[in-house]
Amino acid sequence: SSPASTFNTRVTAISATLHAFAACNQSGELFAWGEPSKGGSLPSMLANRSGWNMLAASGGMFVARNVNSPYIAAWGDNTYGQLNVPLAVSTLGDVVQIQCNDYACAVLNARGQVYGWGSENYGGNVPAHIAQLTDIVEISASASAFCARRRNGAVVAWGQGSYGGNVPAHIASLTNIASVYGCYSGFCALQTSGTVVSWGTPAIAPAPALSNVVHVQGTEYAFCALQSSGSVYAWGDSAAGGALPAEIAQLTDVVALSATATAFAVLRKNGAVNSWGDSAAGGDSAAAISALASGVKGVYSGGSVFIAIKDDSTLVAWGNSADGGSTGAIPTELQGAVSYFSSESA
């Protein structure tokens, strides 16, 4: 159901756990709704503060940044004490990125340092040799590990090794990594040469020998890479989208990728959409195929649902109907009233 908060106006950021949403508005006010134990109930001490300007989420908890001390706060699931934000983190006034996995969190500050908390088994304790670094520029998360990209193009990781917490030696020696993408089961790194490497669970490693890659998306146990030619290639668990259908493999006009937990969708230059993978999570777009043949501007996703916005501002949904994966489930007041752009003048 939609939020009833009086703060629900001029909203600038929205984030989601598996069972709740949180948002902040232009005035820095924060509100949440959904399952209370998974972040849907905002503590009054946070609701009564303004100055919130960044949100992040895991499966069951939210983390928010404030412009005043204490700068970092968390609420929701506290299974492993991950709501107990350390003093060293809550007093950081220069946090530029927040990442959460299932039961741990990590933040990056403007000085290139990373801090963590939560379950040690999920990467809540940052190893000393990584905590000492001052050149980290980006952090990514899998379900139970973190990866940090350094200014020199190298990567380091920590957390559960089977989910990407141990970087293989041949990847750890690289110094040309431009970006890192996390999925549930591991990581994929894009090199400046346009090639990719991946590690984590056996399903996603190693990566295929690809060139001219410009973007990567991951489901739980598969990755898909978009090449500058407009072609895509997928690898990993076939049940999670890792097997590319022949008709998708022949495309040369793909401009964007999206992913649910176990399916992929591609947006083509002509405004058409194709999807594959788990039919219960959006891999089969047959139910909405006529509406997806043209005119699509963007495709977004949840755990088992894809949502497309069209050039006439209408929305199309497909995937798990119980989770909203049906166009008929979309509130009528949204149809024709949602803009692809952040403002109508864009």
Tell whether the model's pLDDT for residue 346 goes beyond 60: no
pLDDT in tens, 50-90: 999 999 999 999 999 999 999 999 999 999 999 999 999 99
pLDDT digits (tens, 9 = 90+) for 148-183: 999 999 999 999 999 999 999 999 999 999 999 999
Q: Would you state the pLDDT for residue 288? A: 86
Please tell me the distance from the alpha carbon of residue 284 to that of residue 276, in angstroms, as a whole number. 6
Task: For CA atoms 121, 159, 41, 97, give the dihedral sign.
Answer: positive
Predicted pLDDT at 287: 80
pLDDT surpasses 60 at 12: yes
Task: Identify whether 305 is part of a domain.
Answer: yes
| pLDDT at 345 > cutoff 60 | no
The one-letter amino acid at 156: V
Answer whether residue 167 is part of any domain: no
Mean pLDDT, rounded, for 42-52: 97
Residue with tokens 């030696």: 169
CB 293 within 8 A of CB 316: no
The answer as to whether 323 is a domain residue is yes
Tell me the average pLDDT across 320-327: 95
Q: Is residue 310 part of a domain?
A: yes
Q: Which domain holds residue 337?
A: 236-346
Q: Which residues contact 163 (CB under 8 A, 6 or more apart)?
A: 142, 143, 144, 145, 184, 185, 186, 200, 201
How many whole angstroms separate alpha carbon 186 and alpha carbon 207? 12
Domain membership of residue 69 (yes or no) is no
Percent of residues, the chain, with pLDDT higher than 90: 95
Is position 37 within any domain?
no
Residues in the chain: 346
Q: CA 328 to CA 273: how far, in whole Å? A: 19
d(CA 22, CA 11): 10
What are the tens digits of pLDDT across the range 95-153?
999 999 999 999 999 999 999 999 999 999 999 999 999 999 999 999 999 999 999 99
Instruction: Say whether pLDDT at 235 is over 90.
Output: yes
Q: Is residue 287 part of a domain?
A: yes
**Average pLDDT of span 217-238:** 98
Distance (Å, whole) CA 229 – CA 252: 6
Question: Which pLDDT does position 289 carry in this prediction?
Answer: 86
Q: What is the CATH number of the domain that holds 338?
A: 2.130.10.30
C-alpha separations of 111 from 34, 107, 205 in Å: 36, 11, 32
Residue 189: is its pLDDT beyond 70? yes
Q: Specify the pLDDT at position 344.
A: 57
pLDDT tens column, 263-316: 999 999 999 999 999 999 999 988 888 999 999 999 999 999 999 999 999 999
Work out the pLDDT band at 25, boundaries 50, 70, 90: very high
Would you list the DSSP string of 305-335? EEEEEETTS-EEEEE-GGGT-BGGGS-GGGT
Does 343 score more than 80 pLDDT?
no
Q: Do residues 206 and 220 touch, judged by C-beta distance below 8 A?
A: no
Residues with Cβ within 8 Å of residue 87, at least 6 apart in sequence? none
Look at the chain and report how many structural domains it folds into: 1
**Confidence at residue 285, expressed as pLDDT on a 0 to 100 scale:** 87
**At a CB cut-off of 8 Å and minimum separation 6, what does 65 contact?**
52, 53, 54, 55, 71, 72, 95, 98
Give SS3 for 291: helix
Q: Is position 282 within any domain?
A: yes
Residue 95 in tokens = 């946090």
State how far Cα 69 lies from the chain centre.
Answer: 27
Contact by Cβ (8 Å): 306, 282: yes
Would you state the pLDDT for residue 103? 96
